[in-house]
Amino acid sequence: MQLENSMRNFDLPASDHDFDKASRLKDLPITSTHWGAYRVETGNGRIKALHGFEEDPDASPIGRGIIDAIDGPTRIRRPSVRKSWLENGPGTYPERRGAEAFVELTWQEAESLVARELTRVRSEYGNRGIFAGSYGWASAGRFHHAQSQIHRFLNCFGGYTHSKNTYSFAAAEVAVPHVIGAFRSFLPESTSWPAIATGAELVVAFGGIPLKNGQINSGGVGAHLQRQGLKQALDAGVEFVNVGPLRSDLDESAGSSWLPIRPCTDTALMLGIMHVLISEDLCDRDFLERFTVGFETFRAYVEGKVDGKAKTADWAAGICGIDADRIENLARRMAARKTMISTSWSLTRQAYGEQPFWAGIALASALGEIGLPGRGIGFGYSATNSIGGHYSRIPGASLPQGANGVEDFIPVARISDMLLNAGEDFDYNGATYKYPDIRLIYWAGGNPFHHHQDLNRMLSAWRKPETIIVHDWCWNPAAKHADIVLPCTASLERDDIAISPRDPYAVAMRKAVEPVGESRNDFDILAGIARCLGIEEEFTGGRSSAEWIRWIYEETARRSGSQGAEMPGYDEFQRAGWFKLDPPAEPVSFLSDFRRDPDSRALGTPSGKIEIYSETVAKFGYADCPGHPTWLPPREWLGAGNKDYPLHLITNQPAAKLHSQLDQGSESRKSKLNGREPISMHPADAEDRGLQDGETVKVFNSRGACVASVRITDGIRRGVVQMATGAWFDPESPGRIGSICKHGNPNVLTPDLGTSRLAQGPGANSCLVDVEGIGESTPGITAHDPPELIESDCRRSRPESPSSG
């Protein structure tokens, strides 16, 4: 373990070169975020600069985006209630959400109002009428984690309808456990970059290894490792193949080869490779016999004995849009060399997103290299910073959430379905459930107008609840479309600790500035409401924020000690500011224990082996997710021959922010063209439409339209366009369904369909659009303008201080 309060020499980001001496940084408070740790420089009560943490060799610039945003015009400064909701009561004029003024209240008024509304909904509809998905990455702090806070509060109140899985990889979360026994718990056991550097010769990256995504990590980042890990492998002579429509999904300096297949055809390509392995007797029969079940059933499908279509390289070439000889050559190279197959998380976010990961596992099994050093299968390299990390992990304790008295749930991406189809059945992972009748949404952390698909459909669904309550620190689209908005602090305005099982660093997050306006911590907000409900003691547990932070740290230290890793005492940790656990002695290779001893280290599948064919899944009887990897043509893809919408839209993660966080900040604004999200397009597609680089365009399909700015590049496959997600939703006519988004939020275009009946995950990347010039009628951008704010009579007569309560 490293415990330091001293500085090492390190390369500062470019904007930090004018800072006096690196040695001065040790005196600055430290903080941690989902995109990195920083030393925080303040002056006159404001943030002046964020400096990359001295341990971080590749500090992310994303953090600087908060400097001008934390007290900027988007900041929510007081409790606020939508005007017509306040005047006319719950459920009135929901079509005005997003278009109406807010009335600013005192905290006393707001607490009483929320408590009364929660009590009313529980009395009339029961706790199952309350939905608190609260999906988001609000803070890296272990205590001030908005989702944990709201879930604990509502459990004290009797419970709530919850959501399962994630937008990141829901299809894999449900499907992969049927194949290898687990998924999420396996991610920390991913084969480490040092193991790849020393054990692999070839990495075939389906969906690439996009370093921009590796800036982030849920729970905090001490040091960014993805660029360093990739370079280590390249320096060792490992060859990389980037499989996907975007050349930028693997760092071009890597010298990798690019296989620009059509989007959503990775499964077909894997099946074509599999056919080559089978027909040329290149499969590892011993591995398949000892470590897997169901290969012969799958083989019959690949050879065409099931449906009369052999999944040859020629067959796959027609689907993927590349030459058959490239598929055959890749298959032979994979069989001849020590190969790692990497599958991007983005592959799950398409129609039938369960299939690519399952097919990748089957392909790695046929090669017989699962469990060998640096080889086999990996999920999501550079999807987050932690994947492939060579470090020990801290078993972090969390705020206890208690028991939820409500059993109802939805798959995370089925919010609109739930709101529009109350009482109707839905399938999920082999069972049938009913959508609950939601009357109140309580959202703390996150922005559903970023995460969710088909925003016009969601706007319609968003009108169904009688009340929507949001905690946030800025007037993002979720806050603007709420009824009651409670202003919470930003992470730099409070103490906390960053401790994550996904990172070896623990950071004492120091309060750097006072809260803006009357904002409060989520804990204090909920404690005030709990006081009105008579459950304050139950919610707070008799502890203050500072006492909970100490408890979480000391409980983490106890767990860590039981695993043989000693942590410093709490006071020592606070003085030092951070510490790091020493890395493990040997690089990690995924499923190496299973390979060494498949009997005592059996997998959590019914057979204890890798299930290339799953009898369990087959018995579910889902036509959209059979019992083995299968090519299922999406409704929307380039092979559909859609003349109205001939371009395939890829919506990937942004480089200059995390999801939609800090979209209003300086770093995000610098990434835009003409103030809008860029759309990348092949030169031939631009020429066909008479478009010039930098031109403002309309991107559209039958679901909606948004405004973007063209970026012409030959680093994208022809027929494909790409827009990053995260631009704040900015409809030209707020509140009107079908209004064009002026700012460039691509989720007005993406389909809101589940990946399959198995997982019901988001299928955003199966999306067809067209693009045209917008001419001189370009609408102005108002995404970052706050709503009209009206001061209540009570506020005018009795203003509160920021520290009250």
pLDDT band at 15 (very low <50, low <70, confident <90, very high): very low
pLDDT digits (tens, 9 = 90+) for 590-643: 999 999 999 999 999 999 999 999 999 999 999 999 999 999 999 999 999 999
**Does residue 182 carry a pLDDT above 90?**
yes
Find the mean pLDDT for residues 476-505. Answer: 96
pLDDT value at 9 more than 50: no
Q: For Cα atoms 549, 554, 557, give the angle at the middle one, nearest 5 degrees.
A: 130
The predicted pLDDT at position 796 comes to 67
Least reliable range by pLDDT among 129-138, 594-603, 741-750 = 129-138
**Region for residue 43 given its phi and psi (left: phi exceeds 0; alpha: psi -120 to 50; beta: otherwise):** beta
Q: Encode pLDDT of 519-539 as tens digits.
A: 999 999 999 999 999 999 999
Work out the mean pLDDT of the chain and round it to a whole number.
94
pLDDT at 803: 39
Q: What is the structure's pLDDT at 804? A: 37
pLDDT-based confidence at 3, cuts 50/70/90?
Answer: very low
135 as an active site residue: the answer is yes
pLDDT at 24: 75
Residues 676 and 727: their CA atoms lie apart, in Å, by 8
In which element (H, E) is residue 723 found?
Answer: strand 720-724
How high is the pLDDT of residue 638?
A: 97
Mean pLDDT across the stretch 362-385?
97
The active-site residue, picked from 35, 38, 85, 135, is 135
Catalytic residue among 38, 85, 107, 137, which? 137
pLDDT of res. 149: 97
Q: Based on the residue annotation, tell me whether 137 is a catalytic residue of this protein.
A: yes
- Give the HSE-up count for residue 242: Cα atoms under 13 Å, Cβ half-sphere: 22
SS3 letters for 1-68? Answer: CEECCCCCCCCCCHHHCCCCCHHHHHHCCEEEECCEEEEEEEECCEEEEEEECCCCCCCCHHHHHHCC
pLDDT at 805: 34
Q: Tell me: the pLDDT tens digits for 20-64?
A: 556 678 789 999 999 999 999 999 999 999 999 999 999 999 999
Mean per-residue pLDDT, 727-751: 97
Under the banding of pLDDT at 50, 70 and 90, the label for residue 138 is: confident
